[in-house]
Structure 1
């Protein structure tokens, strides 16, 4: 970098800062720190009490002055209660009673300057906003603890709750033991007494703070410092800049009106409270401040100018590291004792250039340092195919495909899946460890489609030598179509397949079946039912009625009477004869039409024509027998003594033998239609 450019960058980055001064303050209660030595003592809310206390000691044997501003809010008729400056014998933050106690009531021993904005008649308060000097935390003006006042804060105006910051100056003259209170630049109250002895028992260290409160009536209460004569750190601090650098300082006080800086060389604005100072050499500046009361004060600060260092900070080089190795933090101080910071953050995964930026007041240039990160070399190996449990597994190679030597752990194991770690031998650069997993797989289980049972002696096809998964092998024993047999499949070698696979082929003997029919319903029933009973087989049958569909139910219902039926039965396996039986069921015609058209011209029960002994009697509705016929005859023609009987219902009585040969009688009716 060119020297002129470096010097300009150094000024911009390193040598601009802000000077501030603060009292040693601690807020308590409802108080809020606003910054810049300003505080909200209470907010505009009911029954608040707050304070700010300082651990800066005061010796009443020495003169001192305290300059500050108070804002008592903007409520007048319903505003309350005010603030107080309190001196006490220790720096511990404390609060007294709220409301009329103004936050100082009960603090003892103490010396209080009270600014009261509410009239408490019980305390002897005057009608206007007033000032008084009180002792030992008692706000009652009727008692001896009232040391001076009360007097109106403004002689011509009883109201100081006007939202304006009012200037307050407290002076102590140690030679005369006189305490003077100035309000808005005017002396309003004095009190003379050796308070160091009479109140603080000769204590050389007295501390001060501000308190305030509200009650049922409220106001905001604020305090801001101008300056304190006995507090060094309220003054401007000395500054250090680099050659060609600058610093902005702020001498602003709340009551300041005019500011004048001398000397003026290197001062951006001699009349500004916060100019930028850029001296060419070390310089002591004085600022003279005039406030609203015409008081003047001076502050001094020295700006020290340090020469620029033109040579870059020196650091020892860092040896290259392997990717992922530990990278120690870079030193914050160079070999030539220049302190600063490094950026970016350390990175042990890639080569990086790091920049060292000296601290602002080191007045030195930046420098860089490169740390080389050597990429890791990972050993590579050919993958090992999965093996079956117990299968031979060769030792892993001790030289990788990219010529890195090393050792493997743990020992080879051919019974369980294992991850093996390869550790390179030393002295091979940035070779890193790697892993290799060898899978020990569970054997594949061959599956085959089941073989349907066969009948004894039926042709049996050869079993497949390739499973559904593509596993090849052979079967034992030889096929046998005479007896049920369990066949075992033996996979061919090298297939990591289970050899515990079997297939059973059932060989069913030929059954000789016989059947009989059980007509479970009564003869001439409306629902004729036949139940088929089979013997001589396994019990797994199917049945057929009159060459219809085969079915597994052995019951047939709603059979038509006087028809011939054939029932057949067989084994569902097909391994049997087909047994058959013929039968008919008894029924009768429900009507006939003797009109000479040769269709239904006579009525008879043809189902009984083979029973020569069967007899049928026919009656009219009154029980008169009209005819007596034999089932083997043509039947009744619908006449009585040669006369045509009319359309009507007629009754009959039939005497017959059931299938067991037992005599039976059945009666019912039919209809004659003309």
Structure 2
């Protein structure tokens, strides 16, 4: 019936579905078909492709619909309805050999209805007043025309009826006669274009008509523009004022009710012409008004001289030097400086005036007090001007032999009172104090008395010092006239010596002292007494400058100077250290490549560790230790004796040289022989590189000398197997390795 070929389908990196198909036509009475697909490719590993969604569906002619103007659709203005035309279905004859038609119509393009009797290739449509859709069902047989599985649908022909649009415009506001009138827009708010008539007129109210351009499906429109006449603005004249008088705001509404604004701003200091500008939209004319401002005449008066508080004050004149009358305020006051204001009587265009009358207060003169003096000391002349600048004289004459009160009398016209000052003249005397006994350095020293045996007060200097002999000076207070006196306080020095903060007393593992120590003050018994204490308890018989401790603890020594009886106590700590007690073990199995020795200390201390003669270290572990015997040493970082242990690393030599020079003549496993030979039960088997057994030896024997059946073996690598009991666990193990024979 039909066949087709996809051609090569190229592989893709991700799955990709592709559609392929062909067109065929069934024969009369045929209701089944067989679809056969053949993979022409050579195939490969797994599926080459996947097939899905095999679908059979109707295939007919492609049919277009045209009107009498060969258009596939039409747009009609509502003004031209009802609309009529003839539509024709035009198949492309690609499938069907005969054609049968059934026309359909729809108001929305989704729901379709058959048009009764319209089964021809053409259809005449008429009476269309709104948007409509038309199409035709097409089939090769009239029997299958209404079978959706056997027919096809033509393209849709759409008649679009545009609504009639009334154009709208923004209303032009009313204008005043003669105002500029902007040309009307020739495009409406709906983008409809057209023309206006008649011509614009800015002198009278007129109605204008808008006529749309052809082909826009729009109606005409009208607009009336109001033109208002101009009205004059009138106001009541403002009377003349004096410079500075209050000037009320001008009315913003004219006698005719026209609103607006005045400018410039009101000025109550000069004659000004103001212009009234009506607010917009009132069709009113502007107006002017001149307001007269008369100048102010200054009022002057003769200044009243200053007075002293309480003096008589005459009434101020009520007529100025210019003849301006008025009144003064406030009422006169002869006790305080006051500013008075002259207010002119009304109607004189005269300015007010002020006058300040100074009233000087009565001042009490003050002076810096003259300090007390001693009998016969020089006495400076008293100042004749007070701290406030008041001048005057003092009486009586100065006297430096007795306490006297002097009187200051101020000069005339200074508004000041008299003043007095008493100058004290002190008699001469000498202060005495009781001697302070000597003390030891650091003893409590009571404050020195600030009043002498005669009742003279004063101060001592320098500050008290209970650590050194010092001479102190007593200075009497200013009201006393004696001279300074001194007082020496003896401070005896305490014994001078020191001890170490800590001593270390070393014991071996048998509790015997290894290194005795001596605590020494460095002082002797001819000049000092000694008392030793251990943990706060006096040690009987310990009365010398040195002491040899036999146990640890907190030791104290009290040293007393035999001549001054001053003493000092110093303490020290004796710490007991013991010989290190420890265990050193090989923590890795025998024959391990990297052997490790680990030290466990049993005694308490701050230890460091050494392997053989290497450097001391803080860590108790030694890694990568070579085979054979090693000495491990432990010591306390603070001193005392060291302690050592012997440790053996089991292993084997990597080569031997049986050449008769006496060195490395035989080969055997390296292991300790005392106190217990841990390899006594071991068996060693030696092989050549081909696996031939050459020798069986025991670690306790002499080893292999490199001879097999009386023949010296050549230089080469040889292999061995050792069966042994693991020293750490007792487990029976086997170890394999190789060594070199060198000649």
TM-score exceeds 0.5? no
Q: Which has the higher contact order (CA 8 A, sep 6+)?
A: 1
Structure showing greater Rg: 2
What interval of TM-score do these two structures reach, taking the shorter chain for normalisation? 0.3 to 0.5
Query: What is the TM-score when the length of structure 2 is the normalising length?
Result: 0.36
